[in-house]
Amino acid sequence: MTFTAPADPLGGGPPPSAEPRAPLRRTLALARPAAGRLTLATVLGGCAAAAAIGLLATSAWLISRASEQPPILTLTVAIVGVRFFGISRGVFRYGERVVGHDAALRLLADLRVSVYRRLERLAPAGLPAFRSGDLLARLVGDVDTMQDLLLRVVPAYAIALVVGAATVGLVTWLLPAAGAVLLAALLAAALAVPALTAALARRSEARQAPARGELAAAVVDLLQGAPDLVANGAVAAQRARVARLDDELTVVAAATSRNAGVGSGLTAVLGGAAVWGALAVGIPAVADGRLDGVALAVVVLTPLAAFELVAGLPMAAQSLERVRQAAARVFAVLDAPEPVVEPAVAAALPAAPDGHTMVVRGLRARYRDDAGWALDGVDLDLPPGRRVAVVGPSGAGKSTLAAVLLRFLPYAQGSVTLDGVELATLDGDTVRGVVGLAAQDAHVFDTTLEENLRLARRSATADELRAALAAARLLAWVDGLPEGLGTAVGEHGSRLSGGQRQRLALARVVLAGAPVLVLDEPAEHLDTTTADALTADLLDVTRGRTTLVITHRLTGLDQVDEVVVLDGGRVRERGTHADLVAGGGWYAEQWHRERETEEVAWARR
Residue numbers of the site for ligand ADP (CB under 6 A)? 125, 128, 367, 374, 392, 394-400
* Of 367 and 586, CB closest to ligand ADP: 367
| CA distances in angstroms from 363 to 163, 373, 439, 490, listed in the order given | 67, 10, 21, 41
Which has the closest alpha carbon to 174: 291, 256, 12? 291
* Of 194 and 569, CB closest to ligand ADP: 569
To ligand ADP, the closest distance from the beta carbon of 471 in angstroms equals: 26
* Of 142 and 521, CB closest to ligand ADP: 521
To ligand ADP, the closest distance from the beta carbon of 408 in angstroms equals: 10
β-bridge mates for residue 348, sequence order: none
* Of 395 and 486, CB closest to ligand ADP: 395
To ligand ADP, the closest distance from the beta carbon of 382 in angstroms equals: 18
* Of 33 and 393, CB closest to ligand ADP: 393
Which has the closest alpha carbon to 206: 315, 316, 313, 324? 324
To ligand ADP, the closest distance from the beta carbon of 388 in angstroms equals: 15
* Of 164 and 569, CB closest to ligand ADP: 569
To ligand ADP, the closest distance from the beta carbon of 440 in angstroms equals: 8
To ligand ADP, the closest distance from the beta carbon of 586 in angstroms equals: 13
Rounded Cα distance, 587 and 540, in Å: 23
Kindly tell me the burial class for residue 589, based on how many C-beta atoms sit within 10 Å of its own C-beta (0-12, 13-18, 19 or more).
Answer: exposed
Which has the closest alpha carbon to 50: 163, 174, 186? 163
Rounded Cα distance, 560 and 552, in Å: 15
* Of 216 and 374, CB closest to ligand ADP: 374
Q: What are phi and psi of 416, to 5 degrees?
A: -130, 120
* Of 70 and 128, CB closest to ligand ADP: 128
Angle at 123 between CA 422 and CA 31, to 5 degrees: 110
Rounded Cα distance, 217 and 240, in Å: 14
To ligand ADP, the closest distance from the beta carbon of 593 in angstroms equals: 18
Structural contact between residues 84 and 50, judged by C-beta atoms closer than 8 angstroms: no
To ligand ADP, the closest distance from the beta carbon of 325 in angstroms equals: 27
Strands, E assignment, 323-479: 358-365, 375-382, 387-391, 413-418, 421-422, 435-438
Half-sphere exposure (Cβ direction) of 536: Cα atoms closer than 13 Å = 8
For the chain, the first-to-last Cα distance in angstroms comes to 65
